[in-house]
Chain A
Amino acid sequence: MFLAMSTAALARAYDELRPRVLERLLDMRATLDPSLGRLDEATARGQMNAVLEHLGNFLATGDLGSHRAFLQTFIAMRAAEAQGPASVLAMMVAIGETAAQVVQEQLAGTPDGSELTLLLTRVTSSTARAVNDIVAEELERRLAEWHVVAKGGS
């Protein structure tokens, strides 16, 4: 993927639009995940802002290791709140797509707009891939435990 502009510049453009993305997400938060819909606005705002802030960092740095760290932490925290990995994945994808949508609306027809949209869709794609890798690792750990318990029980 070729980006004419530096990602730092695109990240700045994203940061300027972040408040709009946040408001859009708050409006539609019940569709992102039922548990988000039940949270009070302040808590939901805090949670989604943290995700958007991290996505901005990832945009700027392209540091996949850091992105994985954030995602694995996020998935574990949500698992502790009884939110399964499939809905975490759906939520992260929806956040990324909403961000791309807002960018398309606000920066339509501008070079910034096209490149940032493209970058955001790549971010969403990387996110989805990373989430599945993390869940697959967790599945391997559980299967290992399963084998131990199954042997012990037989």
Chain B
Amino acid sequence: MTQTTSQGGIRVAGDTNVGKVRTTNEDSMIVDPIRGLYVVLDGMGGANAGDVASQTARDAIRDYVIHNRTTMEPKALLEAAFMHGSATVFGKAQASREHHGMGTTVVGCLVLDPTRAVIAHVGDSRAYLLRNGRIQMLTRDHTIVEELVDRGLLTPDEAERHPHKNVLSRNLGAKPDAKVDVSEIELKPGDRLMLCSDGLYGYASVEAIQYLLGSGDAPEHVARDLIDLALRGGGGDNVTTIVIEAPQPPQSSTQVVRTSGAIAWWQRRDRFLEIAKDRGLPKNPICRGLAPDEALDLIATSLCQAIFHDLEKSTGVNVWTFAQNIAGGWFERSGEWAPLRALMDILATAARAVVDEIGVKDANLGFLLSVAVSRALVVAELAIGGLLAARLDCVDSELIQFHAQQHDRTYSQPTLEPTTGDTGDTGVDNPELAESGERFVDNPTVPFLRADRPITSPGVNAELIAAIEKTITIARARTSHKAELVKQILAVLESIAIDATGTFASAVLAAREIYGVRPVDDTGVMPLFDAFDQARIIIAASVHQITAPDALRAKVLRALSGAHQRLVGATTGLVLEAVAPYSVRLRQAQAKTSQMRDQVASAERKRAELERKFASTIDQSQPWETRGNTEW
């Protein structure tokens, strides 16, 4: 869905898409050129509450701005509108069960005139500014991690690796009011503002966004292309974007030169193809199966056209797309690096040769084209670099998965006990854990699990004990004979409930018995909690079946529930014990990495110092980039 508009020289377009994975679009937007109001919202909340949240906030914000824009100054207006949106969403969430907990992020822009705009946001929807071909983020995400860094409680390194780095610290609807960040910015001719939900930047690189935004195409095409970019990147979330373009500057002399440069380039395309052919492009493995003319047409002509269009519009989007398509297709066929590098070198050599020939006739044009073609080649390398990095990431993830599977295989054998020494990826390498079977209870590393920890207990008497026993007997009879774990839980619950020692010991010992040895992952641990839930439901039903006064039943339920709570608590404590070594090993690895970084830094200083001594022996008569004799 696209909305396009134009007002006072400002062109705007917005687009939204549900994405490839979600079934409902919980994003919404406002594109209101009359009031200069543009807003993107990204709703959240279970069971379709997200779209209710974002639409409720959207309508509330729009109404507030319409009614108050003549009486409030812009920054205060936008801030108040967002706060009104938050109050409205909060009220709706409180009034209805199925909307409980819903909320929305928001980023908005009030364009005051072609030279000024106010930006406001809450959450992690963003505003970007493209100026002179470079993109910058205007907003800072309201995530817990960012706030911890601001307060100095986390270092930037730790922030990058934080497991909860996407957890929001603010949104509209969590509370009746909201803390809104507002700022005013100056707009310059040719600037482009972009508002977007995380469905865009979460699935597209900033470089690709920069090139699309800087493409010179009309905002509605840019908005649509940005959506496509996110979908190609996976489309795992709803995606919404609004592109706002300030009036374009009058055509400058630089642009006139760019245009003539593009024409000069295009006029020499045959020469480009000739050099590419002479350099062996048709014989490159990437062109296997293609006739020489086909290869030249598909690859060399495509690059030639891409450079031409990019020269005209002073962008890089066409070369970017070209490089992505060639490299992406090659990598998908499991192609190796060397042929791709050879192909790019052939194209680069051909391009530079053509530019040099132009420069012989027109030095000024030759210089401009030299710079422009160098930049185009950089764009191509950036696109390829992105694909290489993605492949590297993929291989790393698979390696991590392999190691994880090895670990799971090790622990799926029921008789296996933790062993001494480093067992590689089994996750248990701490010699202390060699005697863990005894040490868990005697000396738990999680204080919560101390057996001698006192607990609150209402106390038991003979009547209560008998009623508890009756309840458990009924519960056992209601339990399927196949549900061994549930039966085990019922048995230990009885013993915990009637334990009069007032300590956590019985719960810990019972939890050890139930936990046994199992892999530390969802498949190992979650069946325990499923069984706990089943036991809880069975006991609740069984209590109502014993023949006893209400007061006694209530006491039975309280005793068994207390036991249940301690048992699940102890079990969770054991899970925490089991995962502790992973953190220890990670810290050890981090310490080693830090040590190695220091060694590398020290060696680099020494190497650079030695190199400086050789700088005077460089043969300046040699072409630049072929000088020097550093072997590496």
Interface 9-mer from B401-409, B487-495, B549-557: B401-409
Contacting residue for A7 out of B402, B607, B620, CB 8 A: B620
Residues on B close to A: CB < 8 A? 134-137, 149, 156-157, 159-161, 205-207, 337, 341, 344, 348, 352, 356, 359, 367, 370-371, 374-375, 377-378, 381-382, 384-386, 388-393, 395-396, 398-399, 402-403, 405-406, 593, 596-597, 600-601, 604, 607-608, 611-612, 615, 618, 620, 622-632
A97–B207 CA distance with the chains assembled, in angstroms: 14
Quick check: is A129 within 8 A (CB to CB) of the other chain?
yes
Report the nearest B residue to A140, measured CB to CB.
Answer: B337
A65–B382 CA distance with the chains assembled, in angstroms: 21
Report the nearest B residue to A10, measured CB to CB.
Answer: B624
Report the nearest B residue to A63, measured CB to CB.
Answer: B628
Quick check: is A82 within 8 A (CB to CB) of the other chain?
yes
Quick check: is A48 within 8 A (CB to CB) of the other chain?
no
Per-residue 0/1 for A60-77: is the Cβ within 8 Å of any B Cβ (1 yes, 0 no)?
111111101110110011
How many whole Å from A42's CB to the nearest CB in chain B? 14
Cβ A77 vs Cβ B385 within 8 A: no
B contact residues around A60 at 8 Å (CB)? 615, 618
Cβ A117 vs Cβ B371 within 8 A: yes
Cβ A125 vs Cβ B600 within 8 A: no
How many whole Å from B159's CB to the nearest CB in chain A? 7
Which residues, 121 to 136 on A, are CB-close (under 8 Å) to B? 121-122, 124-126, 128-129, 131-133, 135-136
Contacting residue for B337 out of A70, A77, A136, CB 8 A: A136
A142–B393 CA distance with the chains assembled, in angstroms: 10
Contacting residue for A122 out of B149, B374, B611, B620, CB 8 A: B374
A39–B156 CA distance with the chains assembled, in angstroms: 7
* Contacts known (A35-B156, A114-B367, A118-B371); A62 close to B597, Cβ less than 8 A: no
Known: A31-B134, A89-B382, A118-B374. 11 other contacts (CB 8 A): A7-B620, A38-B156, A61-B618, A63-B611, A100-B371, A125-B348, A128-B382, A129-B381, A136-B341, A139-B388, A142-B399
How many whole Å from B334's CB to the nearest CB in chain A? 10
In the complex, the number of residue pairs spanning A and B with C-beta atoms less than 8 Å apart equals 187
Contacting residue for A135 out of B385, B403, B406, CB 8 A: B385
Cβ B388 vs Cβ A81 within 8 A: no
Cβ B626 vs Cβ A142 within 8 A: no
B contact residues around A85 at 8 Å (CB)? 385, 388-389, 392
* Contacts known (A1-B356, A69-B630, A125-B377); A38 close to B159, Cβ less than 8 A: yes
Cβ B136 vs Cβ A61 within 8 A: no
* Contacts known (A85-B385, A132-B384); A63 close to B395, Cβ less than 8 A: no
* Contacts known (A85-B385, A90-B206, A153-B406); A135 close to B136, Cβ less than 8 A: no
A76–B598 CA distance with the chains assembled, in angstroms: 12
A135–B391 CA distance with the chains assembled, in angstroms: 10
Per-residue 0/1 for A1-31: is the Cβ within 8 Å of any B Cβ (1 yes, 0 no)?
1110011100000000000000000001011
A113–B393 CA distance with the chains assembled, in angstroms: 40
A63–B403 CA distance with the chains assembled, in angstroms: 41
How many whole Å from A46's CB to the nearest CB in chain B? 11
A contact residues around B136 at 8 Å (CB)? 28, 30-31
Cβ A119 vs Cβ B382 within 8 A: no
Contacting residue for A65 out of B137, B378, B630, CB 8 A: B630
Report the nearest A residue to B388, measured CB to CB.
Answer: A135
A85–B399 CA distance with the chains assembled, in angstroms: 18
A114–B600 CA distance with the chains assembled, in angstroms: 37
